[in-house]
């Protein structure tokens, strides 16, 4: 199984890039999507979150108040470790299951594994063959993240400070797509890198 880790800072265009890989038929496993599914209303892990963090982090309909919990753990490293200890192993198990299912069902030449915090976490090192970084300049990052999530500029900047620097990310990338232009340009760059990955996979088979 050939697995490309797709990563990048907040607002760099990871989800957009992942969507475009899906559009051209490459299987995508996304840790953020899995995290959402595992904490969707009625999911078993919610009762464990409630036991640890209390009812305050839940909406009236029983759904998780993600914004409140995110802010809480962002400002409390110990609380963040508690949440991660609960949720990361479950995400890991699910991600490996999905990769194996894709492999079994469609025998793809390669798959994309979206790992937003790849360099902050080494849990996936064993399954990754190459690292693709989606990068854009910080002004684009801030304005796109704000437009997408209703976060303020200072909230986006605080998230950026909590992540590894662009320089670190770029120094550890096997491939980089610069996403400073239009969505059409991003899509053209995805097609080019797709051809390159296909060639790499054929050669290494
Ligand atoms: P990430 O997943 O890395 O946080 P997203 O892919 O969600 O970032 O992108 C953030 C926002 O910017 C989204 O609304 C997305 O549609 C938009 N976006 C991403 N790339 C571009 C681009 N090249 N041109 C215009 N908008 C973009």
Domains of the chain, earliest start first: 1-27+110-205 (3.40.50.300), 37-107 (3.40.50.300)
Q: Read off the pLDDT of residues 103-155 as tens digits, 9 standing for 90 and up.
A: 999 999 999 999 999 988 889 999 999 999 999 999 999 999 999 988 899 99
Whole-number pLDDT of residue 1: 82
Whole-number pLDDT of residue 188: 97
Q: Read off the pLDDT of residues 1-53 as tens digits, 9 standing for 90 and up.
A: 899 999 999 999 999 999 999 999 999 999 999 999 999 999 999 999 999 99
Ligand 1 center from residue 7 Cα (angstroms):
13
13 lines ligand 1 (CB under 6 A): yes
Whole-Å CA distances, 48 to 11, 38, 53, 64:
30, 12, 9, 12
Give the β-pairing of 130-135 and 111-114. unpaired
Eight-state DSSP code of residue 49: H
Closest-CA residue, ligand 1 atom 7, reads 15
**Sign of the CA dihedral running 183, 186, 187, 188:** positive
Residue 204 has pLDDT above 90, yes or no: no
Contact (CB, 8 A) for 108 and 1: no
When pLDDT is averaged across residues 72-90 and rounded to a whole number, the result is: 94
pTM of the shown model: 0.94
Whole-number pLDDT of residue 64: 96
14 lines ligand 1 (CB under 6 A): yes
Residue of 8, 16, 20 with the most ligand 1 atoms within 8 Å of its CB, for mutation: 16
Ligand 1 center from residue 47 Cα (angstroms):
33
């Amino acid at each position: 199984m050939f697995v490309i880790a797709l990563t990048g800072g907040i607002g760099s265009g990871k989800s957009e890039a992942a969507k475009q890989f899906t559009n051209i038929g490459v299987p995508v496993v996304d840790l953020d999507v899995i995290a959402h599914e595992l904490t969707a209303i009625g999911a078993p892990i919610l009762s464990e979150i409630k036991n640890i963090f209390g009812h305050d982090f839940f909406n009236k309909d029983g759904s998780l108040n993600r914004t409140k919990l995110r802010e809480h753990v962002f400002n409390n490293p110990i609380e963040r470790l508690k949440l991660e200890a609960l949720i990361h192993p479950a995400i890991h198990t699910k991600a490996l299951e999905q990769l194996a299912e894709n492999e079994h069902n469609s025998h793809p030449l390669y798959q994309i594994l979206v790992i937003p915090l790849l360099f902050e976490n080494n849990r996936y090192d064993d399954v990754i063959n190459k690292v693709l970084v989606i990068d854009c300049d910080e002004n684009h990052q801030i304005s796109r993240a704000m437009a997408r999530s209703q976060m303020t500029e200072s909230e986006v900047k605080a998230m950026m400070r909590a992540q590894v620097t662009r320089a670190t990310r770029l120094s550890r990338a096997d491939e980089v797509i610069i996403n400073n232009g239009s969505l059409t340009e991003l899509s053209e760059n995805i097609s080019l890198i797709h051809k390159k990955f296909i060639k790499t996979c054929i050669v290494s088979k």
